[in-house]
Structure 1
Amino acid sequence: MQDKSRYDADHFTLHGLWPQPRSNIYCHTSEVNKNLDEQKKYNQLPQPELSPATDRALAKVMPGTMSSLHRHEWIKHGTCYSPTPEEYFVEAVLLTEQINASAVRDYFSGNIGRTIPVSEIKAKFDQAFGPGAGDKVKVKCSNGMITELWINLKGEITSLSDLSFLLQPAEPAASGCQSGLIDPVGY
């Protein structure tokens, strides 16, 4: 039975915000922290300094904070994005919240337990964020299930950014599947 009281039961959650090119990793990071990260010892990485409000917002949209995912994301990617973890995570949360306030989230939430075509996902992105936005989304699947959405963005991200404006100039993304199951959380 699905636990609908969980935020992640019917909302998108954040894995990370990755500056490009993808080789742009571990900026201004000590070798000790880089080695800990590469060994997946995330709980031994330093806790990013965040305001209480950002810490709460991040824990909501990134349940992986319970397993120290945010420490990994900051050390590997965030250090190349911003001089502070506060800016990096505020902006990542902002973008996640915009997707969760859109027709895309409504579509996914309304189709939990069903297999949906990628074409419909792309159409929902177009509806929510403007024509062509869906072409900037890569849908990743594994064993017939949708596992991730990778969203290409281009432009400067700030605490006031509108996802629509970051999607329009971004590079198109090719999806790895034609359809996939939206599985209930916890399965």
Structure 2
Amino acid sequence: MGRAWRSVAASLVMLLSTAVLADAALERLHAESFDHYTLALTWHPGFCDTHRDPPRECREAARREGTQRGFVLHGLWPSLPERLAERGIDRQRWWQEGCFLERPRADGGFCRAHPPLGIDEALEQKLDDAMPGRASCLDRYQYAKHAACFELPEAAYFAAAVALLEAVNDSAFGAFVELHQGGEVNRNDLLAAFEAAFGEDTGRALRLECRGRGNRTLTEIRIGIDAQRLADFPAGDSLVRQGRGRCANRVHIATLD
């Protein structure tokens, strides 16, 4: 019994330390001369359904354990930094190349080209659930492309991203999307559900991404967040307007397994 209680206590300590890290990360994840972050969250079944050659996290059942709650983490992307804008780099090129503009990408796949993250076991477990794409080393690639050139600490960066994901999944908007899985909804109803959850006129901060025939299947959402206001998310005044996404008027929401 003593051993069992020690195991439980150790698990609780891990969970509490991760929660503290997430709070600290949201407060301290500094914004080095860029305006906002884009929180990119994947609707995993839609992502898998619209790929002719689905990646490992779609093929292996064990890799889908973290997808039952709704959205999963794609990335947390800083906007164009001032130092690159001053060199004539535009937004489109920044989104395409990111930190590889300053630190050229190594040859090879994500797993070969980028080293493992330096994060502790508790955050490893949370990130495993939050980001099925880790099966393909998506976490390493996301950090290398979007965070490494800002010297953002790996643990703080991913703890913040996971905390933001959980806030969306715990929201009325997350519940709305999950409720309508397996069917179709009007694109404007998704925006209205976002505004109902986060405040009037916040729908402009939400970008919907769809794929498949006629861009009808929801695959991802992207939310603009003021770089100085991460800790205030999802308060309405922490959100930043995004461009219009690529979804038809009627949007299919694929079913979670």
Could you say whether these structures have the same fold, taking a TM-score greater than 0.5 normalized by the shorter chain as the test? yes
- Give, in whole Å, the separation in 1 of the partners of 2:147 and 2:175: 29
1:6 to 65, 81, 100: 65
Taking structure 1 as reference, are residues 95 and 46 closer, same or farther at Cα in structure 2, changes over 3 Å only?
Answer: same
Name the Cα RMSD after superposition: 2.4
Shift of 1:8: 0.9
1:43 matched to 2:85? The reply is: no
Shift of 1:161: 3.6
Q: State the secondary structure of the residue aligned to 2:106.
A: helix
Q: Any runs of at least 4 consecutive aligned residues in structure 1 with deviations exceeding 3 A, and if so which? A: 27-31
Higher Rg of the two aligned structures? 2
1:135 matched to 2:204? The reply is: yes
Q: TM-score, normalised by structure 2?
A: 0.62
- Give, in whole Å, the separation in 2 of the partners of 1:184 and 1:172: 26
Taking structure 1 as reference, are residues 81 and 118 closer, same or farther at Cα in structure 2, changes over 3 Å only?
Answer: farther
2:169 to 97, 100, 112: 100
Higher strand content, 1 or 2: 2
2:246 to 176, 180, 184: 176
Higher helix content, 1 or 2: 2
| Gapped regions of structure 2 (runs ≥ 5) | 1-44, 46-60, 81-90
Tell me the number of residue pairs that the alignment of Structure 1 and Structure 2 aligns. Answer: 176
Q: State the secondary structure of the residue aligned to 1:17.
A: strand
- Give, in whole Å, the separation in 2 of the partners of 1:46 and 1:28: 19
Q: State the secondary structure of the residue aligned to 1:6.
A: helix
Q: How many percent of aligned residue pairs carry the same amino acid?
A: 24
Matches within 5 A, 1:1-187: 6-21=65-80, 22=91, 23=94, 25-26=98-99, 30-31=103-104, 34-36=105-107, 39=108, 41-44=109-112, 45-143=114-212, 144-158=216-230, 160-164=231-235, 165-167=237-239, 170-177=240-247, 178-185=249-256
Shift of 1:27: 6.5
Do the aligned partners of 1:117 and 1:179 also contact (CA within 8 Å) in 2?
A: yes
Taking structure 1 as reference, are residues 12 and 99 closer, same or farther at Cα in structure 2, changes over 3 Å only?
Answer: same
Taking structure 1 as reference, are residues 185 and 82 closer, same or farther at Cα in structure 2, changes over 3 Å only?
Answer: farther
Do the aligned partners of 1:138 and 1:175 also contact (CA within 8 Å) in 2?
A: yes
Q: TM-score, normalised by structure 1?
A: 0.83
Do the aligned partners of 1:47 and 1:71 also contact (CA within 8 Å) in 2?
A: yes
